A and B are shown apart, each in its own frame.
Chain A
Amino acid sequence: MKRFGLYFAVLLIFTMSILPLYSLVESLRIGKIPKEVTRLHMSTNNTTRVLADNYQELQQKILEIKNPEGEAPDLIILVSSENWVQAVTATSLLAPPINSTLLLVDRNKENEVLEYINKLQPRGERALNGAHILAIGQTAQISEKIKEHGFKVKIVTGDNATIAQKIYDVKSKLALRKNPWVIIIDQRIGHSYALPSINWAVHRGTPILVVDGDKLPKATEDSIRSQGKQLSFYVMASADKFSSTVRKSLEEFGNVIEIGNRDPIQNAINFAKYYDDRTGFGWQTTTETVEGGKNFLVVNEKDWQSAVIGSQIFNKGLFGPLLLTASPNKLPVVLEKFYFGVSPDWWVTPAEGPYNHTWLLGSTDKISYAVQGRLNFLQEITNYENQGSQGISGLEALTIVWYALAVCGAIWIWFHLSTRMFQLSPFMRVIWVLVVLSLGPVGLWAYYICYRGYGHQVALGEFPRPLWVKVLAATCSTIGSGMPTMIGTGFVIVFLGAPLFLNRGPLFVLTGPMAQTVFWSYLAAVIINAFIFVPIMLAFKENSTYWGTVKANWLTVLISMTAISVGMMSTMWWFMMEYLAMMPEEVNVLWWGSMYAANIAGLITGYIGNWVLVIRGEKKGTM
Chain B
Amino acid sequence: MDIKRRLKHTRLWFWLLLGSSLLLAAFLLLYNPNYYKVALTGQQMETELTRTTTRIPGKNAMEVAIAVAQNSYPATFKDNKPGAVILVPADDWQAAVLAAEIIHFPINAPILYTEREVIPQDTLKELKRLDPEGNFQDGNVKVILIGNIGEGVKSQLKKEKLKFRDLTADKTEQLASLLDDYKAMIHANHDDEVIIVPKEDPASAILAASWVAHMGHSIFFVGKDSVSNETRKSLAKRPQDAFIYILGSEEVIPKKIAEELSQYGHVQRFPGKDAWELAVGFGSYIDFGRNFGWWVRRTPRMFGWGIGEAGHNFIFVNPKYPLQAVPAAVLSHMGKHGPFLLVKEDDIPDPVIRYLQTVQPNFTSSREQLFNHGWIIGQSINISSDVQQQIDKLLQVKGP
Contacts and interface: CB of A to CB of B under 8 A. Distances in A.
A113 interface: no
Interface string A199-210: 010011000000
Interface string B168-206: 000000000010011011111100000000000000000
B371 A36 contact: no
Interface string B346-375: 000000000000000000011111110100
Size range of the chain A interface in the assembly: 35 or more
Given A46-B336, A351-B312, A351-B337, A289 B37 contact: no
A586 B33 CA distance: 20
Interface string A494-519: 10111110111000110111110000
A254 interface: no
A200 B366 CA distance: 9
Contacts of A158: none
A377 B33 CA distance: 15
A329 interface: yes
B127 to A, nearest CB: 13
Contacts of A351: 214, 305, 307, 312, 332, 337-338
Contact of B34 (A30, A32, A316, A497): A30
Interface in A328-361: 329-331, 348-351, 353-355, 357
Interface stretch (B52-60, B89-97, B219-227): B52-60
Contacts of A96: 400
Given A51-B46, A316-B397, A319-B366, A498 B139 contact: yes
Contacts of B17: 411
Nearest to B64: A40
A418 B71 CA distance: 58
A295 B397 CA distance: 12
Given A285-B367, A353-B336, A51 B44 contact: yes
Contact of B36 (A29, A37, A368, A583): A368
B78 interface: yes
- Choose among A355, A502, A515 the residue with the greatest number of B CB atoms under 10 Å from its CB: A355
A172 B67 CA distance: 47
A585 B57 CA distance: 34
Contacts of A586: 136
Interface in B54-76: 54, 56-58, 63, 66-67, 70-72, 74-76
Given A25-B28, A319-B366, A374-B35, A496 B139 contact: yes
Nearest to B106: A583
B44 A357 contact: no
B79 A377 contact: yes
Contacts of B35: 30, 331, 370, 373-374
Nearest to A377: B80
B138 interface: yes
Contacts of A44: 70-72, 74, 335
A50 interface: yes
Contacts of A319: 366, 369, 397
Contact of B188 (A29, A50, A577): A577
A51 to B, nearest CB: 6
A332 to B, nearest CB: 11
B396 A317 contact: yes
A30 B131 contact: no
B9 interface: yes
Interface string B379-400: 0000001000100100011011
Contacts of A43: 47, 54, 56, 71
B38 interface: yes
Contacts of B265: none
Contacts of B295: none
B70 A293 contact: no
A451 interface: no
Contact of B181 (A50, A419, A502): A502
Given A39-B70, A374-B35, A45 B331 contact: yes
A282 B141 CA distance: 49
B40 A39 contact: yes
B28 A21 contact: yes
B229 interface: no
Contacts of A494: 136
Given A372-B74, A373-B74, A513 B137 contact: yes
A463 interface: no
A42 interface: yes
Given A350-B214, A497-B138, 17 more contacts: A21-B28, A25-B28, A37-B38, A39-B44, A40-B44, A43-B47, A43-B56, A292-B369, A319-B397, A351-B337, A355-B311, A368-B40, A373-B35, A374-B36, A376-B335, A420-B6, A582-B106
27 contacts: A31-B77, A32-B131, A33-B75, A34-B131, A41-B47, A44-B70, A44-B72, A45-B71, A45-B72, A45-B334, A45-B336, A48-B54, A203-B366, A282-B366, A293-B311, A317-B392, A319-B366, A319-B369, A355-B373, A370-B37, A389-B79, A390-B79, A415-B10, A498-B137, A509-B185, A577-B187, A583-B137
